Each structure stands twice: as structure tokens, then as C-alpha cells.
Amino acid sequence: MTLNVEQIRKDFPILERETQNGARIIYLDSTATSQKPAQVIEAMNDYYRRSNANIHRGVHTLAEEATSMYEGAREKIAKFINASSSREIIYTRNTTESINLVAYSWARANLKAGDLVVLTEMEHHSNLVPWHMLEAERGIELDFIPVTEDGLLDLETYKSLLDRRPKLVSFTHMSNVLGTVNPAAEIIRLAHEAGAIVLVDGAQSVPHLTVDVQALDADFYAFSAHKMCGPTGIGALYGKSSLLEAMPPFLGGGDMIKEVKLRSFRANTLPHKFEAGTPAIAEAVGFGAAVDYLSAIGMERIAEHEREITEYALDRLEEIPGVRLFGPSAEKKGGVAAFTLEGVHPHDVAQILDRDGIAVRAGHHCAQPLHEKFGIPATSRASFYLYNTKDEVDMLVNGIYKVKEMFG
């Protein structure tokens, strides 16, 4: 059953906006952050209007309501990715903080000089820099699964890296530049056979695909609310409870403690052990509302809609002389089309498209090493979600032709 996109678009107030020169907003930047439906906005407003209070320790009505909403959202998130328990869902600020939590807590407790961490050449900086920092501090070794010319991971080289018995394999489920959907289950299975723990960056996959962390057998899985119709400032780390139980706390302070004495403390139970201080309560409520919204529509239907839009977009963009596309074909990628236009800097492409209300991203997209791999400083990136249409793709293509005319 196809999506009723026109009906879905009515849920997103910002899509009714026009730019200063009267152009209707054509939002093709959901890989950076998605737009928010009214249902999410209203859930957060309702929390502040009716139930605002601090959580867990209060026994008054508002505190109990706020706690119920906060923990209820955690239950929804756990169900959404099929975690075995909500105790395995740790609230963080975003995917970046989730990866850093693993790097600071699990990795610093378990990795020593000479231990190998395997990453990929297509990683976002958030899954590179924490490991660079640990390399400098601890003397661990880093190596990388190469990216092929068609934007896929070289799994034969990966298998040879596993012969070196890495302690950790960390990779993106879906590239934010190439759109490549990596074979996560196979990568995880091979890593486990080699004795490695696996961390998956799911920032781009959870909003667009059906993700089942138990079926994947992921040890850690990180994602953000703001890319899946939820608010900014909150994300989640899924971790197997056996690993989380053994890890030291990430931050110290209120709510992550069971008992504090002047010279000692005992950490709280999961998941609160990793959640120090007053959390992003309203954002958690919004996160839960976003999960409700996507679940009601259906992730399979969303993925199918994006496949259709992406295939159409790649076909249309390939028609334009001077356009170079990056990444695999539509059946191997999510809703991302990164491209360059011969003779025009990506920032100029984005600025000129913006005059017609067309919002695309330009730059290295926090993936500088990947751009270096392809010998370019930057790309323009159009990305698609459940609210985008083929008509908007046509407007993008027309806009690129305008750019070509301006630059001769």
C-alpha cells in the first residue's frame, strides 16, 4: 500500500512556509534533520502545559505524570527497534554522544595499547574522532574497511582485517553521503566470529528502515530523534544488558547514583546508571510521539516510498550534463542523492537552489575522509523522506538546469 503523501504533508506545518521571495519550501535535507509533524510538536507542548515536573524522585501528581511519560517513551523506543528490554535503551543527546558513551565507558575499560578497532572509510566524523582520541590517549590501532568506486564496502578486505582479531568493529548502517545501506547482519556476524564487539551508527537507518537490533545481534546501536521526526537534543544508545551492566558510568551526578557517601558512591541500575542529571524530559516525550507517528504509518511503507523517490531522482539527475552522482544504485541505498555539477562549487549550487525555496545540503557532510577518497572537497546532497514527492524532484532538476545556465 503506497503512502498518501499529500495527507502526510498536512501533518508538517513547516512545509506550508514560503521563503522571503514567495517560493514554497521544498525540503530536501532530511539527512541533516527531518521536519517535525504537528503530533510531535503538540505532545511536547502538552507536556509543558500540563505535566511539567522533574522525574523519578517526586511523589506528587505532576512528577508521577512526567516520569510515566518519560519512561513510557523509552518503552516505545525499545519496541521500535525490538530491544529485549527498555533497560537496554539509554537516553543521550544524539548519536554522537551515544558513540562517545561507548568510547569513554566500554572502550576505556576494555581496550589497551595495540588493540585493533576496525572502522570504515565512509564513517561520519562522529564515528571517527572518538576513536582518534582514544588512539592518541591509549595507543590503540585503527584500520578501515575500504569503500569501492561504486560506494559499497569491500567485504573481502574486511575479512582480512578480521584475521587480525580486532576488539571492536564500528560502522554506519547507512552512509549519510552515499546512501549505501550496509549489510549490517553479515558484518556483525563476521565480527562476532572473530571475537569482536560491534557498535552500529544507526543515525540514518532507524528513521528510514525497519531495524531489529536482536535480529542483527548488534552489541551497541546508536541513533537520534531529530532525524526521525522527533526533536533535537535527544538520542538513544541501545546496548546489550550484559555489556551495559559491566560498564562504568559515563557521567557522574544526580539520578545515576544508588548511594553517595563523602568518599564513595554506588551507581544506579540500568538504564539510569548512564543518565546523570535532569534529562531532556520534553524531548523524550517528543521522541516517543515520533515513534508513534512513524509506527502508525509503517516503516516498510516509508522505505518503499523512499526507494521510489530515490530511483526517480537518480534517473532524473543522471539526465543532466555535467552531474556526477556518488554511491550505489537505488536498490542498495536509502533516500540520498549526493552529486557534483561540473564547473560549479556545491555551495553555489545550494545557494542558487535556495532562491527557489529548494533546501539541499552542500559541503563534506561531516565525512571529509570519504570525500578525499573520491578526490573532491564537497558535494551537493538532496535527501528524501516520507513527505517528499516526485514533483519536488522535478523542481530540483529544473533548479540545477538554472544553475547551469547561470554559470554558462
- The last residue of one of the domains, among 252, 269, 296, is 296
Strand partners, 198: 169
328 lies in the same domain as 392: yes
Please give the grid coordinates belonging to residue 317. 539527475
pLDDT of residue 2: 84
Q: How far apart are alpha carbons 153 and 71 in whole angstroms?
A: 38
Q: How far apart are alpha carbons 183 and 188 in whole angstroms?
A: 9
164 lies in the same domain as 308: no
Percent of the chain with pLDDT over 70: 100
Q: How far apart are alpha carbons 140 and 111 in whole angstroms?
A: 7
- The last residue of one of the domains, among 296, 312, 347, is 296
Which one of 366, 369, 389, 407 is the catalytic residue?
366
Average pLDDT, the chain: 97
Res. 57 pLDDT band, cuts 50 70 90: confident
Q: How far apart are alpha carbons 220 and 274 in whole angstroms?
A: 14
284 lies in the same domain as 361: no
**Rounded average pLDDT over 356-370:** 97
The single-letter code of the amino acid at 129 is: V
214 lies in the same domain as 346: no
Residue 282 lies in a domain: yes
Residue 1 has pLDDT above 90, yes or no: no
303 lies in the same domain as 256: no
pLDDT of residue 117: 98
pLDDT of residue 113: 98
Write out pLDDT tens, residues 143-187. 999 999 999 999 999 999 999 999 999 999 999 999 999 999 999
302 lies in the same domain as 292: no
Res. 215 pLDDT band, cuts 50 70 90: very high
292 lies in the same domain as 303: no
Q: How far apart are alpha carbons 382 and 360 in whole angstroms?
A: 5
45 lies in the same domain as 22: no
State whether residue 119 is helix, strand or coil.
strand
Could you confirm whether 229 is annotated as catalytic?
Answer: no
160 lies in the same domain as 46: yes
pLDDT of residue 153: 98
Res. 227 pLDDT band, cuts 50 70 90: very high
| Helical (H) or strand (E) element with 244 | helix 241-246
Strand order in the sheet with 336-341: 323-326, 336-341, 379-383, 361-363
**Rounded average pLDDT over 30-54:** 98
272 lies in the same domain as 194: yes
Residue 366 lies in a domain: yes
**Rounded average pLDDT over 68-93:** 98
Res. 36 pLDDT band, cuts 50 70 90: very high
Residue 36 lies in a domain: no
Q: Compute the CA torsion angle 249, 250, 252, 254 (nearest 10 deg).
A: -80
Closest to 81 (Cα-Cα) out of 264, 188, 239, 227: 239
Q: How far apart are alpha carbons 209 and 200 in whole angstroms?
A: 14
Structural domain that includes position 91:
41-296
Q: Where are the beta strands (DSSP E) in 64-173?
A: 89-92, 116-120, 141-145, 168-172
Domain count, the chain: 2
The CATH number given to whatever domain includes residue 12 is 3.90.1150.10
State whether residue 45 is helix, strand or coil.
helix
Write out pLDDT tens, residues 366-396. 999 999 999 999 999 999 999 999 999 999 9
Q: Which residues contact 272 (CB under 8 A, 6 or more apart)?
A: 56, 255, 256
Write out pLDDT tens, residues 296-336. 999 999 999 999 999 999 999 999 999 999 999 999 999 99
**Rounded average pLDDT over 258-285:** 96
**Rounded average pLDDT over 44-48:** 98
Residue 207 has pLDDT above 80, yes or no: yes
Residue 405 has pLDDT above 80, yes or no: yes
Residue 35 lies in a domain: no
Write out pLDDT tens, residues 90-111. 999 999 999 999 999 999 999 9
Q: Compute the CA torsion angle 399, 403, 405, 408 (nearest 10 deg).
A: -160
State whether residue 70 is helix, strand or coil.
helix
Residue 112 has pLDDT above 90, yes or no: yes
Write out pLDDT tens, residues 5-21. 999 999 999 999 998 88
Res. 348 pLDDT band, cuts 50 70 90: very high
**Rounded average pLDDT over 137-148:** 98
233 lies in the same domain as 335: no
What is the number of helices (H) and of strands (E) in the chain? 15, 15
Burial (0-12, 13-18, 19+ Cβ within 10 Å), 103: buried
Residue 310 lies in a domain: yes
pLDDT of residue 408: 78
Percent of the chain with pLDDT over 90: 97
pLDDT of residue 64: 97
pLDDT of residue 190: 98
